[in-house]
Amino acid sequence: MRKYLPKMNYQATDFNYCLFTVFYMNNFVKLKFINFNCAKIKNFCGENRKGLFILARVCYYKYMLREEIKNLLEKAVYSAVKDKKLPDFGLPEKAREDFWRSVTVEHPENKDFGDYFSNAALRLAKILRKPSMEIAEIIAAKISRVKEMKKYFTRAEVAKPGFINFYLSPDYLRKSVAEIIKKGDKFGDLKIGKGEKVQLEFISANPTGPLTIANGRGGFMGDVLRNVMKTAGYKAEAEYFINDSKHSNQIRELGKTILGKGEMYKSEYLNERLADFKVKFSDIEGAGSAVANEIVKDHKEKIKNKFNIKFDKWFSEQSLYDKNNVQKILLELDETGFTHKKDGAVWLKTSERGDDEDRVLVRADGEPTYFLSDIAYHADKFSRGYGKIINFWGADHHGHVRRLKIAMEILGYDSSKVEIIIMQLVRLIKNGQEVKMSKRMGQYITLEELVDEVGLDVARFFFLMVSANRQVDFDMSLAKEKSEKNPVYYVQYAYARIGSILRKLGGEIKKSELADLKNLEEEAEFDLAKKLLELPEIIEDTARDFQVQRLPQYAVELARYFHNFYAQCRVISEDKKLSVARFALITATQIALRKILGIMGVSAPEKM
């Protein structure tokens, strides 16, 4: 029997809620441990080795229904094997773990197919070489007899070609509404991160002009992902890399522009601010460096006070040279045997690790490249103990991804810990026409101008709506519209409407009134309650794959379900128990909306 069961990974970590299914003395037993340390379970297993096998996973959060469904599926499958309803399908440990990872639990687009569905039977069919429908029927029959099934679901049904559909029970939905209210602003908080250190680097704009709307896209996405990671239980830190190296070509070109010896960075922004900067211009490098430092100060002020983006650290590229880190990394690379000299320059043999060609580390004139300082910077990140390093880069940096990861591997670092999110371009649409932008020609709409015109809430929300790998068409007309066509207005209006209703009902609901919500029985009420339960899933999924567009999409969907409920169900009525029950439902909705808006850095207005 042991060969069928997933391996238990013990960790010295405390959890608020954990659930185990064990096979003990030929019976399946479910154990719950509240506020325990995993060492207790390890001791328990050590004392009861005979006939005891840990079956299921740790449930970090008791609202993670998808985890509970996987528990039910695993329990049903192994029970069916024991009863010889399913054939022996012993797999090596790695294959077994991969199998259960491949089993998905998702929401169907059509609610006629339940609230969740799983592909477990379809996956098993490939291993057992049996019809998926037959396997699904066996699993569903087993699940229907499990006591815990009735706690969450009314039934589990089979649908072609072998999906198992789960239908949430009304009683569970009512209890969930009460639990959300009890959790309050902690609803949605998870512990899946286990305190792991994660670093996010974003914006890191060249200090040659004002922040552009492209900088804003990466800035808002990075800021929000940091919020998501923190909510999921990671120790997430945001960092801004200041491109202030005196060895940089852009600093030299900026100096030439300032001294009238070049025009690459000529713009109204520089012309207007040169007098304010109060710096003495000497040589090209000195002028470029001095003005770049003043521009960075301007960026810092705008980022913090105008755009509400928070950074835990501002890291100077020049500091890598001042501390001799760049030279040390060059020596380390030399020692690996992966460098060579050609045409007077020093090259890294990235082509031997799958790159298109070798890359220059030091130019023929002795000047280090940006690539070398970037390697030194990421080596510094690894030295600070981050379990995951996340970078937001512009589309023009796409070719830099592979070579950086190869360099990290050559130095002995785990390149899988580096996640680079490439952001596609932004098009600004104004009066139906694209606004042409060129930073170097000084013709562009700055991020500050955009925020002044449409508002910070709208700017953040609009940039978050589109995944990083897709181009953004920022519609200025829609952004300024005050109607349900504007998704920001639509979501905020839902929150404000709830606030208005709650004020009429006298504020907060009493905890004693949460015990009986049986009057919630309309379809629109249950649809809204189900949508509320998706919030922890949205947080979990986004913390794992960084697709922050889920957040505004969820906020719009939740607002839509609320508006539909409001149109169909009268909250304040002569039926006091019904009013209390609906009072609870909209209170829970307000909590969820406030949570998702807060994570996105968008305000939740009490009145509109």
DSSP 192-205: TTTT-EEEEE----
Residue 451 dihedral angles phi and psi, to the nearest 5° = -65, -40
Q: Is the pLDDT of residue 395 over 70?
A: yes
**Whole-number Å distance between alpha carbons of 77 and 56:** 12
The CB-side HSE value for 468 (13 A sphere, CA atoms) comes to 26
* Distance of alpha carbon 509 from the chain centroid: 32
pTM: 0.87
Q: Which pLDDT belongs to residue 7?
A: 37
Please report which confidence band the pLDDT of residue 405 belongs to, taking 50, 70 and 90 as the band edges: very high
**Whole-number Å distance between alpha carbons of 601 and 220:** 9
Average pLDDT, the chain: 87
Neighbours of 567 (CB within 10 A): 8
Q: Is the pLDDT of residue 560 over 60?
A: yes
Stronger pLDDT, 284 or 156, i.e. the higher one: 156
Q: Helix (H, G, I), strand (E, B), or coil: what is residue 261?
A: coil
Residues of the chain with pLDDT > 70: what percent?
86
Q: What is the pLDDT of residues 438-454, one digit of tens each?
A: 544 445 689 999 999 99
Q: Is the pLDDT of residue 527 over 80?
A: yes
Given strand 433-435, what is the order of strands in its sheet? 433-435, 426-430, 472-475
Given strand 345-348, what is the order of strands in its sheet? 339-342, 345-348, 359-362
Please report which confidence band the pLDDT of residue 31 belongs to, taking 50, 70 and 90 as the band edges: very low
Stronger pLDDT, 171 or 63, i.e. the higher one: 171
Residue 435 dihedral angles phi and psi, to the nearest 5° = -90, 115
Q: Helix (H, G, I), strand (E, B), or coil: what is residue 393?
A: strand
Average pLDDT for residues 42-52, to the nearest whole number? 40
Average pLDDT for residues 406-422, to the nearest whole number? 98
Stronger pLDDT, 351 or 98, i.e. the higher one: 351
The answer to whether 424 and 397 are in contact (CB under 8 A) is no
Q: Is the pLDDT of residue 576 over 90?
A: no
Average pLDDT for residues 215-228, to the nearest whole number? 97
As separate numbers, helices (DSSP H) first and strands (DSSP E) second, the chain gives 23, 18
Please report which confidence band the pLDDT of residue 286 belongs to, taking 50, 70 and 90 as the band edges: confident
Residue 187 dihedral angles phi and psi, to the nearest 5° = -60, 130
Q: Which pLDDT belongs to residue 525?
A: 97
Q: Which pLDDT belongs to residue 278?
A: 64
Q: Which pLDDT belongs to residue 14?
A: 33
Q: What is the pLDDT of residues 183-209, one digit of tens each?
A: 999 999 999 999 999 999 999 999 999
Helix (H) or strand (E) holding 368: none
Radius of gyration of the chain (CA): 28
The amino acid at 407: A
The amino acid at 508: E
Contacts of 245 (CB under 8 A, 6+ apart): 251, 317, 318, 320, 321, 373
Q: Which pLDDT belongs to residue 594?
A: 98
The answer to whether 335 and 377 are in contact (CB under 8 A) is no
Average pLDDT for residues 265-282, to the nearest whole number? 77
Average pLDDT for residues 137-154, to the nearest whole number? 92
- Mean pLDDT comparison of 35-44, 148-157, 216-225, highest-scoring range: 216-225
Please report which confidence band the pLDDT of residue 279 belongs to, taking 50, 70 and 90 as the band edges: low
Q: Is the pLDDT of residue 310 over 60?
A: yes
Which of left, alpha, beta for 577 (phi over 0: left; psi -120 to 50: alpha)?
Answer: alpha
**Whole-number Å distance between alpha carbons of 519 and 526:** 11
Cα dihedral 590→592→595→601 (10° resolution): -80
Closest listed residue to residue 138, CA positions, set 63, 90, 82, 59 = 82
Q: Is the pLDDT of residue 22 over 50?
A: no
The amino acid at 413: Y
Closest listed residue to residue 230, CA positions, set 201, 259, 252, 199 = 199
Please report which confidence band the pLDDT of residue 467 belongs to, taking 50, 70 and 90 as the band edges: very high
